[in-house]
Amino acid sequence: MWNNLKDIFGSEKPSVNKFIYKFNQLPSEKQVRVLKAVREAAFCDWNELPPYYRDFLLSLFSRYRTETLDSLHQDTILGEMTFQLKNPHLILRVIALLEGRKNGGSPCYLDVAFCFLLVFPFPCSVEYIGDCLRTKFVTVDDIDLLITVGDLQDGAGHIPFNSK
- CB-neighbour burial class of residue 157 (10 A; exposed 0-12, middle 13-18, buried 19+): exposed
Residues 7-56: tens digit of each pLDDT:
888 888 999 999 999 999 999 999 988 998 899 899 999 999 999 999 99
Residues 129-138: tens digit of each pLDDT:
888 888 876 6
